[in-house]
Structure 1
Amino acid sequence: MKNPSTYLKMRVLSWSFTSFIARSCNLGAINNAPGETQQERIHNVADILWTDDDGNSRKFTWRTIYTWHYRYKNHGVTGVEPSVRKDKGNTRKVSPEQLVEAVNQVLHHFKKVKSYNKTDVYRKIIEEGIISRIDLAATTFYRFCRDYGILSATKEESKKRLAFSMKYANDLWQGDTMFGPYISYKGSKIQAKLICFIDDASRVICHGEFFISDSTSSLMSILKSALYKRGIPKQIYVDNGSNYSSRELTLVCARLGCVLTHTPVRDGASKGKVERFFRTVRLNFLNKNLDLSSLDKLNQQFTQWVENDY
C-alpha cells in the first residue's frame, strides 16, 4: 500500500493537535479528538479508521502521528510531504505531459485501424513533426508509455470509465492541463497552457484559461475563479503533476473542506471528462482561425467559444 498523502496526514493532524494546527495553519473549524491531554488525544486518534485518497481504509500508530507532528512543527507542510526524487519521470527535453499531448494529437489516425502498437504511434508523432527524433528517442517513448500507462487502457476499461458519473453538480470537479497553441509573448513564440476544471455530473466548465506556464500560481488563479463561479465542490480530482500535488492546493482544499484526490499512478485516462473536453477544444476551437498575437486575445476567444459554442 502506498504512503499516505500530505492531505491525509493533515487530516489526521487536525484531529490530533487541533489547537496547534489551527494557530499555525489557520485551517478553520476542525473537529477535536476526545481526551484531556495531547497524549490521550493522539492515542484515541490512533484507533480511528481513515479513508485515504484511493478509498482504502487506513490506521496509523500513535508513534507515526507523533512523528508527523514533530516534522510539521519544525518544517511546516514541507515536513510531512512525501520524499520524491525531483527528477523522477523526467527527461531532459520532453516532459511526460508533452508526451501525453503528442500521443493524443495522433491517436485519431488509428481510429479505423484494427490493431496498432507503440511503434506505430511513435513513428506518427515523428512524421507529424510534433516532437523531433532528436528530442525523443524510441526507447524513451516506450519507457514513458510503460511508466505512465500510456496506450495501455483496454476497450473494456474505457467502457467502464465512460459509465462512471457523479449524480449531482459540485459532487466532483476534474482538473487538468492541456498544451495549446504557440502565441506571441515578449517578442518570441511560447506555447500556451490551458488549465481547466470541469464538473463531473453536468460537464459544465467551472473555469478554463490559458497561461504562459503550468505553475502553481496559475492553478491557484484558475481555482479561485472557478470557486467564485460555481461554489465549493465536495471533491477535486487531479493528476500527480507538481502543481496539482503542491502544498498550496493541499492547504486550500483542507481549509475549504474539499477532498483532494489524485489519479492512480500510470492512469491518466481516469480523468475522462476533462480529457474529452480537451479533445473537443483541439477539434472545434484550435482549428479555428485564431488571433494568437497575445495571451489576452487567445483567452477572449476561448471564453467566447465556451459560452456560445461549447
Structure 2
Amino acid sequence: MNDIDEMALFRLGVLGPLTSRGELVRGELARLIRQIAQQEYAIPGSERRHISEKTLRAWYDLWRREGIAGLASKPRTDRGASKLSEAVQSAVLAAKRENPRRSIRQIRLLLEGTGVMPRDTLSRSAVHRLLKTHGLSRIAGPAVVADEKRSFVAEHAGSIWYGDVMHGPTLSLDGKRRKTYLVSLMDDASRLITHSAFCLSETALEIEGVLKQALLRRGLPGRLVVDNGSAYRSATLQGICARLSIRLIYCRPYQPTAKGKIERWHRTLREQFLAELDTTHIRDLNARLWAWIEKVYHCSQHSALGEYTPLSRYQRDLPRIRLLGPLAATLDELFWHRVKRLVRRDGTVSYEGKRFEVPYELTGQHVRLVVDPHTGAVMHVENEAGKTIGAATELDAIANSTRRRQRSQTEPATAGPATGPNLIEIAHRQQFPYTEE
C-alpha cells in the first residue's frame, strides 16, 4: 500500500478548520481562510512562516475536487538536474555534510565568504533541490492549529473522537519501577470511551495501537481531535487517518479547554478508578481498567447526557455510525510501517536486532521493509513506488551452510572446439613439427 505524500499531509493539516466542517455558510469560507493565513507554520522545505490566502484557496479547491491526492506535491520536470556547476555542487554538499545543522542561508553565506560564489548569486531553491536530491534535506512535520470551540457538541455519536494521554501510576514490573501512561479515545456526543489502555510509553506506536482497537470495537469516526504533541503529528498516524477518511485535527497549544471533555474523563478516572487501585499487587492493570469502564463508567448516568448513560447514548446513534465493513479484513495492513533499509552483500537487512533475507538480486539497493510494528512481524519488501518486490524471511545461517548457491552468470564460459586459426595449435606445430595428431 503506497505511502501518502508528506506535503499532502501537511496541507491537509493546515486546512483542518475548513475540511472539518460540512457545508459553509456565506462568507464563512473567506473568514476562515483569513484566520488560517494569519497563523505561523513550519512549512516543509521553506523558511517562510505564512501561507497566502490565494494559496489556501487553491489548496481548498484541489481538496474538494480530488481529495488528499490533489494536495500532493507535483514532481518537477527537471528533478535530479542541477544548474549549479560541479565545483559549486561539491562545495554545497561538503558544507552540509560537515555540519548537518547548517541551514541553506548559512551555506550560502559560507560559500560567499570563502569566495566560491559572488554575493547574492546563489539561488536558495537550487541549493534546496541539490540537498534534497542527495538526501540531505528532509520535510519536517507540520505545525497545525485547530479551530476548536469550548461549547462545541457533536451532532451524533461517531462524529468526533478526542484523543489524549494521561500520566498513570508507577508499577513494579519484573523488579523495576515503571511509569505508565493512559492513552484514551473518547466519543464526543456520548462520552463513551472507544478504547483506553495503560502503556509503558507515549509514542506514536502506542497511540496507533489504541486507535486500531477502537476502530475494531466502535467503527470509524468522522473527525479525530488530538493534542499537538509529536506523537500525534507522526506521519504514520496522519497516513492511517487519511486512508480511512478520518479528519485529523490538532488542538491549539496551551489551550486545555479545547479538550475539556476528555480532561473531565481523566478526572473521573482518578477519582473513581485510581483512588481504589492497589498498585502493589496488580499485574494486569489493563484488564481491571477495561472491566471498570464497561461495568461502571459506561453504565453510569452522565450529567451532560441527561437520562442517558454513555453506552445507551452511543447505542441510540448506531444506525449513523460508520462501520469498518470490508476494511476490517485489511485493517492490519493500514497500520503497517515502512522502514528504509540497504540490502547487504549477503542479501540481508536488519530490523529490531534481527537479520532477514530478501531476494538476492536486491543486493546493494535501498528497499522499504514492510513491518507490523504491533507484533514485530516482517511482512515483505517494497520498492519506492510501494510495489511488493519480494519476501523477507528471518536468516537461518545454519541452513545456509548446506544450501546450494546460485553461480554468477557473468563467469566466462569454457571455450569449445576451435573452428578457425588457433594460436596455441600453431605454436604447438612449430615446436613439435613431427608430432602426429
Q: Could you list the structure 1 runs, at least 4 aligned residues long, displaced by more than 6 angstroms after superposition.
A: 54-57, 73-76
SS class of match (1:250): helix
Matching residue of 2:185: 197
Q: CA deviation at 1:289?
A: 3.5
Separation in structure 1 between the aligned mates of residue 169 and residue 157 of structure 2, nearest angstrom: 31
Identity of aligned residues (%): 32
Judging changes above 3 Å, is the alpha-carbon distance between structure 1 residues 60 and 239 closer, same or farther for their aligned structure 2 residues? same
Separation in structure 2 between the aligned mates of residue 221 and residue 66 of structure 1, nearest angstrom: 28
* Larger RCO: 1 or 2 (CA < 8 Å, sep 6+): 1
Q: Which residue type is aligned with residue 198 of structure 2?
A: F
Matching residue of 1:20: none
Q: CA deviation at 1:69?
A: 4.1
Matching residue of 2:205: 217
Matching residue of 1:36: none
Matching residue of 2:295: 308
1:298 pairs with 2:285: yes
- Equivalent pairs counted in the alignment come to 189
Runs of at least 5 residues in structure 1 that lack an aligned partner in the other structure? 13-47, 85-159
**Are the counterparts in 2 of residues 174 and 198 from structure 1 also a CA contact under 8 Å?**
yes
Q: CA deviation at 1:68?
A: 4.0
Runs of at least 5 residues in structure 2 that lack an aligned partner in the other structure? 1-5, 15-28, 38-52, 60-69, 80-131, 144-148, 298-437
Q: CA deviation at 1:167?
A: 1.2
Of residues 157, 172, 175 in structure 2, which corresponds to 1:184? 172
Judging changes above 3 Å, is the alpha-carbon distance between structure 1 residues 269 and 66 closer, same or farther for their aligned structure 2 residues? closer
**Are the counterparts in 2 of residues 239 and 268 from structure 1 also a CA contact under 8 Å?**
no
SS class of match (1:309): helix
Matching residue of 1:279: 267
Separation in structure 2 between the aligned mates of residue 230 and residue 256 of structure 1, nearest angstrom: 14
Q: CA deviation at 1:265?
A: 2.1
Q: CA deviation at 1:10?
A: 5.7
Structure 1 or 2: more helix by fraction: 1
What does the per-residue CA deviation read over 1:253-296, in whole Å, with 9 as the maximum and x for residues that have no partner? Answer: 110011000001221331111110000011110000424555x5
SS class of match (1:59): helix
1:262 pairs with 2:250: yes
Q: CA deviation at 1:82?
A: 3.7
Which structure is larger by alpha-carbon Rg, 1 or 2?
Answer: 2
Separation in structure 2 between the aligned mates of residue 171 and residue 83 of structure 1, nearest angstrom: 24
**Are the counterparts in 2 of residues 183 and 293 from structure 1 also a CA contact under 8 Å?**
no
**Are the counterparts in 2 of residues 196 and 222 from structure 1 also a CA contact under 8 Å?**
yes
Q: CA deviation at 1:173?
A: 0.2
Separation in structure 2 between the aligned mates of residue 230 and residue 303 of structure 1, nearest angstrom: 15
State the superposition RMSD in angstroms. Answer: 3.7
Judging changes above 3 Å, is the alpha-carbon distance between structure 1 residues 168 and 290 closer, same or farther for their aligned structure 2 residues? same
Q: Given the two structures, how large is their TM-score scaled by the length of structure 1?
A: 0.53
Q: CA deviation at 1:81?
A: 3.4
Separation in structure 1 between the aligned mates of residue 172 and residue 233 of structure 2, nearest angstrom: 30
Q: CA deviation at 1:55?
A: 7.5
Q: CA deviation at 1:308?
A: 1.1
Judging changes above 3 Å, is the alpha-carbon distance between structure 1 residues 185 and 165 closer, same or farther for their aligned structure 2 residues? same
Q: Which residue type is aligned with residue 308 of structure 1?
A: K
